[in-house]
Chains A and B, each alone.
Chain A
Amino acid sequence: MKFGVLQFPGSCDEVDALHAARRVGDAELLWHGDRDLKGADAIVVPGGFSYGDYLRAGAIARFAPVMEAVIDFAGDGGLVLGICNGFQVLCEAHLLPGALLGNANRRFTFRQVELEVLNSGGSFTRACALDERLSIPAKHAWGRYYAEPETLAAMDRAGQVVLRYAAAENFNGSVHDIAGVSNERGNVFGLMPHPEHAVASLIGGSTDGLKIFESMRITVEGARV
């Protein structure tokens, strides 16, 4: 299984994502100016400040040549994971519903947060148990998830709200404490916390983030024998 990790000017966590993906499979970086996904089985849109986050976080990156290929790939059912800035890019590209607004505390905030798994059957969380708590760091200034009430209701019905901040953990003010959502088809997933920074006990504070990458591997390859 091979992950492709996008690299925009201003990406910051792409190497971290690359190393995290390599714990469960192969991975390589994909340059923003290329349209070739180089045979990747899954795409990671990493964190950072693509194009300086100018105009609006993710608003310029969605027009990058590589995103045309990613949109086609997602349309064909390929797995796409967006982390932090990647989540913002996927919302801007309309691959995911909703939008990310400025944090309620109006500051860039870095904090280890506890998340609850609301949907453990999907392509990105099948290695997790239902209601399992994941400890994963978050670090962003624009992470307040918002969607219209009708959209939220539809997302709830379709099981698209995959991760929620546990009680008292929602520092950014996301609606319904939403931390991670998928598209209706379940093959595109975005979250504000950084699973790639929770893959090694020495540096991560937890290894819970690995479950996201492992879930993707299982989805692509089937369970390891």
Chain B
Amino acid sequence: MSENHPPAVSIETVSAPPAPSVEDALALGLTRAEYELVCEKQGGSPNQVELAMYSLLWSEHCAYKHSKKLLRTLPTEGRHVVMGPGENAGAVDVGNGLVCAFKVESHNHPSAVEPFQGAATGVGGILRDIFAIGARPIAVLDSLRFGEPGGSAIRDKDAGDEDAQSIANARARTRTHARARFLLDGAVKGIGHYGNSIGVPTVGGEVYFEGPYEQNCLVNAMALGLGEREKLVRSAAAGVGNTLLLFGARTGRDGIGGASVLASAELGDADADADKRPTVQVGDPFEEKKLLECSLELLERGLIVALQDLGAAGLTSSAAEMASKGELGIDLDVARIPLREQGMEPFEVMVSESQERMLCVVEPANVDAVIALCEKWEVNSAAIGTVTETRRMRVFDGEELVGDMPVRALVDDCPLYDLAPVKPIEPIYATPAATLAEDASPRETLLALLGSPNIASRRPLFEQYDAIVQSRTVRRPEQADAAVLALDSEPYPTADPRSTADPHPTGADRPIPALAVSIDCNGRRVAADPYTGTVEAVLECAANLACVGAEPLGTTNNLNFGNPEKGHIAWQLTESVRGLGDACRALQAPIVGGNVSLYNEGQTSGPIYPTPVIGMVGRLPDARRAGRIGFVREGDTIAIVGPFAPSLAASELAKLRGEPLPDGLAAIDIEAVRASQIAVREAVRAGALASAHDIAEGGAAIALAECALAAGLGASVELDAIATEVTDSLFGEGPGGFVVSGRERAVRELGERVPVRVIGTVGGDALRIELQGQTLSATLAELAEAHQALAVLFG
């Protein structure tokens, strides 16, 4: 910590006796009115420990004070829901007595400051949420947003100019691009470091590059776990007189103030943020691997009553939440907590965000057995407190009482704020620089789109992740629109896929049920229309599930937005949540949990695109028939299925052409889109389709190219039937469209239920698209070269 730039939280600001002042409260992120309310609840000024605890639990990050009222409008109940919002993770029933626990969480600001550890601990945190309810983590997905990584043709031409201003601009851009690449590289390495080391496969994800994320990148991680329904554990403290036991890593000074200072304020400039580095936690996946196995064995043996992970706001949040949910009190003694360093103040122990720690409630008779099991896994443990009936959170330092607060005041009495949404009159976001000339030919456009950062192959990124450990991964990244994970833990049949031409080898004699999972959000479309864009993001996830034959069971979400105290951001958030609720209700895919990340604004780049990241989990009855992206057989019929009405508005091509965002997107007939998803899902399940891929960024032409590339099989199609304008037909975007292939009869039969436009056949070593008398043709080799653009940037 530099003396010239004192960090927002330091020992000096809050530890100096006597009682802290209102200025200290302000420095910790509370408002004056909130501080006065704290005083009222406490019946006097809070001391240092109490103020530190209130400031964290009353932060936006913990109290959701600007979003809670909106979140209450979301659908959270359904026939599959086992655990809804409020627990460490949501859970849905997946049959045979099993549940799938899942949740997405953000670690945006830590990642903007220190991408490797920020992303790594993001994964660590979400994994703890999963095993905290007694489910074994089986998969991780990630959703990332960065600034433009550079590398386009027009910019390079610019950079070659002699003009001094151009050179200066080019240098500034180069720095910007270098930062985007540094952040991406660090985040991907961090996610891989944690997930790979702990033995949980990273099976999918998404990444977008857009200017508004330049100074405030997004790193959202989603995890899934499997558990037995009867053995799930809740976090509510229970049993007066039971012991509170902390186990896992020792507590240090890392991450102090993470929730309040880092997560609940806008980022400043890069240099100032360097001073926030001590507020970023450091992860140790080996410690968490032991903690995971230890926790699951404790639960398996029935040794604990309640379990809670330590995340944002550390012990303060975990202990207070457990007490609050159990409607009980907790006494704990900071002197009994294993420390990483000497001389830590009680408030530091209470607010530390040291990673890889869990808190559990144990009956006194089982304490020795719990400690012995922790020793087996080489995990520290210590009995640190007791469950009381006082409904007060009392913190002791040995014999001395150093903090005493009503649990309800800490957890429930933080004021909630109404948003004041105002639809902006002026555009909020800068128009992106053009990187593709308006008069580029369809072929040039196809190759430029295929190589654009938002569409190019993610192989250089996902190759850094172990996608197969735990032996459930039926579809690897780029093989299908959604990840597919077999539910069985039994060995699968051995049948050799290379011995048969059948695209759906049926070596097994029984169905193998599986989960499917997808994560998605196109922030540019949400920026153009927060309501419709959010509906589209939910539909996109459901479309991805349909492509592998899965029906949605439940949804999680991470609402990444700017500063909600600003009217236009409040409007984005309000509209987005309205769209989220409508879409989830229509799809019967209720929200079982999620996270909100606000104040995502860069000092000069302004607010991020509103980014409600959607994660959706579904189930398919037989993994042997899971759909895939790639074409399978020469001669198969290709069709576009669904009420697809392509438009260039807010499309990837519009961005490459440097067009401003439109004010609104075309309204969606959600029921018609849902009908097409059901038709595709049923056809995939019946084995009637050889391939299925939903049409997203870059439109039908890009979807076709992706189907061809995934298979190494070309196609000849005619697109006249799609739209009247050539570019709309080729590159227009909109929800509700799928590219499918299969036997002609099967494809045409689909037309009895939903719109089907047969467009051509699979075959050859090129993609040939005819429309309005012109032919656009590119060989697979040319497509593959364009598609590898990220490898060149990040190689």
Contact = CB atoms under 8 A, between A and B. Distances in A.
B152 interface: no
A93 to B, nearest CB: 20
Contact of B623 (A10, A202, A206): A202
Nearest to B200: A12
B199 A48 contact: yes
B3 interface: no
Interface string A196-211: 1101111101110010
Contacts of B284: 52
B300 interface: no
A110 B468 contact: yes
B199 A13 contact: yes
B197 A53 contact: yes
A133 B21 CA distance: 73
B470 A200 contact: no
B302 interface: no
B743 interface: no
A25 B56 CA distance: 55
Contacts, number: 121
Contacts of B290: 9-10
A16 B470 contact: yes
B377 A9 contact: yes
A110 B495 contact: no
Nearest to B294: A9
B378 A22 contact: no
A108 interface: yes
Contacts of B492: 200-203
Interface in A96-141: 107-111, 137, 139, 141
Contacts of B196: 12, 49, 108, 139, 141
Contact of B464 (A107, A194, A199, A210): A107
A19 interface: yes
Contacts of A210: 494
Contacts of B468: 110, 137, 139, 194, 197, 203
Name the residue among B193, B196, B284, B495 with the largest chain A CB count within 10 angstroms. B196
Tell me which of B198, B285, B463, B465 has the highest count of chain A C-beta atoms within 10 A of its own C-beta.
B463
Interface string B499-510: 000000101100
Interface string B172-212: 00000000000000000100110011110000000000000
Contacts of A19: 471, 491
B327 interface: no
Contacts of B467: 110
A63 interface: no
Interface string B469-501: 111111010000000001000011111111000
Interface string A2-35: 0000000111110110011011000000000000
Interface string B433-468: 000000000000000000000000000001111111
Q: Is the interface of B mostly helix, strand, loop or mixed?
A: loop
A73 interface: no
Of A15, A20, A206, A207, chain B has the most CB atoms within 10 Å of the CB of A207
A107 B794 CA distance: 12
Given A9-B378, A12-B199, A201 B497 contact: yes
B377 A207 contact: no
A108 B493 contact: no
B624 interface: yes
A196 B491 CA distance: 11
Contacts of B463: 107, 109-111
Interface in B255-309: 284-287, 289-290, 293
Contacts of A207: 494-497
A111 B467 CA distance: 10
Given A111-B463, A200-B493, A202-B508, A10 B286 contact: yes
A63 to B, nearest CB: 14
Contacts of B486: 202-203
Q: Which range holds the interface residue count of chain A? A: 35 or more
Contacts of B470: 15-16
Interface string B366-392: 000000000001100000000000000
Interface in B738-777: none
A108 B476 CA distance: 17
B719 to A, nearest CB: 33
Contacts of A109: 463-464
B512 interface: yes
A201 B464 contact: no
Contact of A200 (B462, B465, B491): B491
B319 to A, nearest CB: 28
A12 B464 CA distance: 16
A51 interface: yes
Given A9-B286, A49-B286, A110 B507 contact: no
Given A23-B494, A200-B491, A52 B469 contact: no
A119 B463 CA distance: 30
A16 B471 contact: yes
Nearest to B196: A108
Nearest to A19: B491
Contacts of B471: 15-16, 19, 196-197, 200, 203
Contacts of B465: 108, 110
B498 A110 contact: no
B464 A110 contact: yes
Contacts of B505: 201-202
A13 B196 CA distance: 11
Nearest to A51: B286
A46 to B, nearest CB: 10
Contacts of A110: 462-468
A183 B189 CA distance: 34
A83 to B, nearest CB: 12
B554 to A, nearest CB: 24
Contact of B197 (A52, A111, A202, A203): A52
A224 to B, nearest CB: 15
A53 B493 CA distance: 33
Contacts of A47: 469
Contacts of A139: 196, 466, 468-469
Nearest to B289: A10
B187 to A, nearest CB: 14
Interface in A145-203: 194, 196-197, 199-203
Contacts of B466: 12, 108, 110, 139
A144 B109 CA distance: 36
A108 B491 CA distance: 27
Nearest to A202: B492
B296 to A, nearest CB: 13
A202 B624 contact: yes
A49 B197 contact: yes
Contacts of B491: 19-20, 22-23, 199-200
A51 to B, nearest CB: 7
Contacts of B623: 202
Interface string A39-75: 0000000011101111000000000000000000000
A10 B508 contact: no
A199 B289 CA distance: 26
Contacts of A49: 196-197, 285-286, 289
Interface string B334-358: 0000000000000000000000000
Contact of A201 (B189, B462, B473, B495): B495
B729 to A, nearest CB: 36
B512 A202 contact: yes
Nearest to A107: B464
Nearest to B488: A202
Given A200-B494, A201-B505, 10 more contacts: A9-B286, A12-B196, A13-B469, A23-B491, A53-B197, A110-B464, A201-B492, A202-B493, A202-B505, A203-B474
The 7 closest A-B pairs by CB, nearest first: A52-B286, A12-B199, A200-B492, A201-B497, A202-B492, A49-B197, A139-B466
8 contacts: A10-B290, A107-B463, A108-B466, A139-B196, A202-B624, A203-B471, A207-B494, A207-B496
